[in-house]
Chain A
Amino acid sequence: MEKLKVKIGLEVHVQLTKLKTKLFCSCPSDYRGKPPNTYVCPVCLGLPGSLPKVNSKAIEYAVMVALALNCKINRKVMFFRKHYFYPDMTKNFQITQYDRAGGAPIAVNGYLKLSTSDKEKVVRIRRINIEEDPGKLVYPTGSIITSPYTLVDYNRAGIALLEIVTEPDIETPAEARLFLQKLRSILEHLDVCDCGLEGAVRTDANISVAGGGRVEIKNIGSIKDVEKALMYEILRQKEALLKGLSIRSETRHWDDVRKVTVPLRVKEEEQDYRYFPEADIPPIIITEEFIEKIAKQMPELPDERLKRFQREYGLPYYDSSVLVSNKKLADFFEETVKLYKRNPKKVANVIINDFLRWIHEKGLELDNVKAKPKDIAELLKLLDNGIISIKIAKTVLPEIIVSGKSPSQVVKERKLLKISDKQIIRQIALKIFREHKKAAFDALKDKKAINYLIGQIMKYTKGRADPAVTGKVVKELLTDLKEGKLKL
């Protein structure tokens, strides 16, 4: 199929999970896992007569994000009401921000640069809003369709959100993923959001293919699913276009169980939100000094950190970019390097090639990995000191990831110490030679058979035999065999 022009814009809702309290009241914001409707008060329940009180820390966090995304920060920030009836809304309007009708969101006109090794891509940021999260609808069966009734939990109501809206500059699902990964890393470096928490980052994706109608996919919960939803949607729209159908503007829902998008409503039916100023919150004046103060306190961001990794640790671009794409991973790396200074590249290799692979294989997140940087450093040292072989190291790694035991403890418990005593290896090799006589004689002329014999020794010793010593012993034995000094 010919290449069709794809335009993608994202609306990312980021919970400021690092705030201690909600956006407009002093209810604690760590609502996850709490009994329903216990983290509530008259304000976040929208009880008659209650009034919002702006959490000034939320403004500070929003300014940090705005600076990191190169936005213009408005000096006079206003809140607006967005009206729609829905059971997760306690007031049937959401306090948010608006960029029309005299409104002024916290920040506008920014950009985020996505770098891949061969090119640089700029995604423009249209605006950043501060707004309140609605409550959460709970379907007792887990599905909106099969549940006979719906419950509502307002613990989440009033949690501070940033809505980050991009221009439709993204051209592929992979770019969307890169954008979200980088955004996530920035948010984590700013320490405003623990993006790994369930529902902490939720994305709406707008997509149009070949100038067709704009389709919005609502509420996608993970970065991977954003990419999948967009791929699905491009495929769906291309197929429709092939059949000569036109794509209408509509809102679709991402079904994360079936991994498909399903129609929600046609755009024309969409409601009029009747935005107007929230008179209970007077405009907030952001001074130059305030912005400067925050700019000075900004922590190191992923781009700077990437450059520092290249400079300070001599890592290649690829390694650095993989590490800083996730703040926790980058932190893990640096802590390991502190304990194993002699070869940062080796640390990077183990983390990127082995450590990460095992985490994915075991279905874990960096957060619930039991192994600590000291364990990785120890493993590398055991290897360097010849106490274990590289093969053993590779079997120890998954175990320390899951169990939290130290590498030396695993080695000891499982008797994995390397065998480098030549006499012991010679005895084992003789035993193998006798059991595989044909192979032994073949090995006199065939290299493959030599490897077979070494493989058998390794198998017998469960990988503990020192490869160098083993190779040497096998060679000696073969010489003896050839010269008739050895009888099998």
Chain B
Amino acid sequence: MDVLSKPANELGELILSGAISIVDLIDKVYERIMKLESKVNAIITLRSRSDLLKEAENKEKEIKRGAAKGLLFGVPVAVKDNISTKGIRTTCGSKILENYVPPYDATVVKLLKKEGAIIICKTNMDEFAMGSSTETSYFGPTRNPWDLERVPGGSSGGSAAVLAAGIVPLALGSDTGGSVRCPAAFTATVGLKPTYGLVSRYGLIAYANSLEQIGPMARNVTDVALLLNVISKYDENDGTSIPGSRPDYMYSLSNPYHIKGSLKVGLVVEMMGEGVSDEVRKVILRALDKISGEGIEIEEVSLSSLKYALPAYYIIAMSEASSNLARYDGVRYGFRAKIDGDWNKVYMETRAQGFGLEVKRRIIMGTFALSAGYFDQYYLRALKVRTLILNDFRRAFKKFNVLVGPTMPILPFKIGEKIKDPLAMYMCDIETVSANLAGIPAISIPAGFIGNLPVGLQIMAPPLHEELLLKISKIFEDKIGLRNLIAPL
């Protein structure tokens, strides 16, 4: 248990120095999964014990040979199941990809392997990342390790749950409208959505490609910085990847208090208004109380365009989804309905049987929004809102270093509570979607608890200011004093 609770940034050194045996570590990870997975259901595909131990043994040999190197050498990592892994099936939480085994690695997976990480499992998620609770998964809902009756958030609920359950110290999620930050907030872990273009999307199975980023998740800010160091790299295979080198995010944390002048933090009033539960508001204000002072000024700020963010987000996301998910027709890979008929009939039946309800709902609405006569009214207007939001953020960032608010407007809710009410579920994303629309980096860190239910604090920074964002997150983490939390299971 002790080894499993170690932060990744310490684990790596302990492994390379020989203080921790990789085989022993991986064995403990496997045991813990065996013990908890039936309760949590965080994993869609677990690599076989023999495969994992063989990889661990090989890595130990490398250490003995003195050939071991890499930022994550021997460190166990979980990967969300919408990130392609060569030879390991990648389902996107969908029946339609139930048996799909990618022939190639996503760029982030290549980078993980290059740094010596051991990929343990593919984590559960809302089907095609469409959801905020991990309930829409074809493989059943994931349970929140802090309260097994409740959802872990979504769509990267499985990745958050394996962290909170103390199974692995690092996980990859993806964030289209809050899918990294929401489960981080619901599980008292840390999740970062990077600037659009900072991390390669090559190999990330698209839901809404103009919005999403792969994001690092961990139990503390430093580990998030470490994982960002590994995955953040220009990639010529992704046309939206931002060229140029990346800073050393870990290094910037080594002296976190080194920020010129006083730090100006804007509390976004629109994010604290209607729809935010009193409990959440209370926890956020208490956390901000702890943070303020000592050169940190917190002031309220209004971004009036944010009230349009949610509808704009859903129009863009669903439109893109209707396009991105068109390729699942059963011809080349994945599930195919067993019926006779022409291609048209087989396509229809394959998609009718292969997609779940929420995915179908979004494809249909997105198809509608893009259709002739409605395109201008919906899609183009949503793009205009997107520009307004970006401009509002730009204005706010002239005055403030970062902006803050709650990550989620409510506490983790009970499984089944909202799944029949799509609008109530969509409202959960009200705090998170604007960062995706604007393409800016945003992080969720633990702010406090109501009983045993976590609340997350969201911090947003200007584009490509991850260094600053992580630095400030580290300061806040220190002041709030919540890190490396593992749910009692």
Contacts and interface: CB of A to CB of B under 8 A. Distances in A.
A46 B239 contact: no
A51 B201 contact: yes
Interface stretch (B102-110, B138-146, B289-297, B449-457): B102-110
B292 to A, nearest CB: 39
Q: Which of B102, B327, B329, B344 has the most CB of A within 10 A?
A: B327
Interface string B376-403: 1001100000000000000000000000
A49 B240 contact: no
Contact of B237 (A51, A87, A93): A51
A111 to B, nearest CB: 30
A102 B331 CA distance: 33
B370 interface: yes
A150 B102 CA distance: 26
Nearest to B334: A48
Interface stretch (A202-210, A278-286, A354-362, A444-452): A278-286
Given A93-B323, A280-B209, A51 B202 contact: yes
B204 A274 contact: no
B435 interface: no
Interface in A259-294: 272, 274, 276, 279-282
A91 B239 contact: no
B257 to A, nearest CB: 38
B102 A49 contact: yes
Contact of A49 (B205, B329, B379): B205
Nearest to B201: A51
A54 B329 CA distance: 25
Contact of A51 (B239, B326, B327, B367): B239
A85 B102 contact: no
Contacts of B347: 85
A85 B326 contact: yes
B326 A91 contact: yes
A87 B331 contact: yes
Contact of B372 (A45, A87, A272, A280): A272
Contact of A276 (B82, B104, B323, B343): B323
A90 B239 contact: no
B224 interface: no
A53 B239 CA distance: 6
Interface in B323-346: 323, 326-327, 329, 331-333, 343-344
B332 A90 contact: yes
B94 to A, nearest CB: 10
A83 interface: yes
Contacts of B210: 279
A92 interface: yes
Interface in A6-57: 42, 45-54
A53 B92 contact: no
A279 B320 CA distance: 9
A152 interface: yes
A207 to B, nearest CB: 25
A464 interface: no
A324 B327 CA distance: 45
A93 B321 CA distance: 12
A87 B209 CA distance: 23
Contact of B375 (A81, A150, A276, A279): A276
Mostly, the B contact residues are loop
Q: Which of B106, B237, B380 has the most CB of A within 10 A?
A: B237
B97 interface: yes
A318 B53 CA distance: 80
Nearest to B346: A87
Contacts of B300: none
A45 B100 CA distance: 14
Given A45-B332, A54-B239, A101 B326 contact: no
B206 interface: yes
Contacts of B97: 48
A152 B97 CA distance: 21
Contact of B379 (A83, A272, A276, A280): A276
A280 B239 contact: yes
Contact of B203 (A49, A81, A274): A49
B103 A42 contact: yes
A50 B202 contact: yes
Contacts of B238: 51, 280
B106 to A, nearest CB: 6
Contact of B333 (A47, A54, A280, A282): A47
B236 interface: yes
B90 interface: yes
A416 B382 CA distance: 82
Given A48-B90, A91-B326, A280-B240, A42 B331 contact: no
B204 A49 contact: yes
A52 B201 CA distance: 11
Contacts of A281: 239
Interface in B232-260: 236-240
Contacts of B240: 279-280, 282
Contacts of B236: 53
Contacts of B376: 101
A85 B367 contact: no
Interface string A85-106: 1110011110000000110000
A46 B370 CA distance: 21
Given A85-B347, A101-B380, A282-B240, A48 B375 contact: no
Contacts of A49: 82-84, 90, 102, 106, 201-206
Contacts of B322: 274
Contacts of A47: 84, 102-104, 332-333
B9 interface: no
A91 B201 CA distance: 17
B239 A282 contact: yes
A47 B210 CA distance: 18
B100 A85 contact: no
B331 A152 contact: yes
A46 B327 contact: yes
A274 to B, nearest CB: 4
Interface string A157-174: 000000000000000000
Contact of B100 (A42, A48, A102, A282): A48
A276 B319 contact: yes
B198 to A, nearest CB: 15
Contact of A92 (B329, B333, B344): B329
Contacts of B103: 42, 47
A211 B155 CA distance: 56
A53 B237 contact: yes
Contacts of A276: 319, 323, 370, 375, 379
Contact of B104 (A42, A81, A85, A150): A42
A154 B372 CA distance: 30
Interface in A61-100: 81, 83, 85-87, 90-93
B371 interface: yes
Nearest to A273: B372
A52 B236 CA distance: 10
A200 B470 CA distance: 54
A92 B209 contact: no
Given A49-B84, A50-B202, A272-B371, A92 B326 contact: yes
A92 B348 CA distance: 13
Contacts of B332: 45-47, 90, 154
A93 B344 CA distance: 15
Contacts of A52: 239
Nearest to A100: B375
Interface of B: 82-84, 90, 92, 97, 100, 102-104, 106, 201-206, 209-210, 236-240, 319-320, 322-323, 326-327, 329, 331-333, 343-344, 347, 367, 370-372, 375-376, 379-380
6 contacts: A83-B323, A85-B326, A102-B380, A274-B370, A276-B370, A276-B379
> Nearest 6 pairs between A and B by C-beta?
A279-B210, A92-B326, A274-B370, A48-B205, A49-B203, A49-B84
Given A51-B239, A272-B371, 9 more contacts: A42-B104, A45-B332, A49-B106, A50-B202, A51-B238, A54-B239, A85-B344, A101-B375, A280-B240
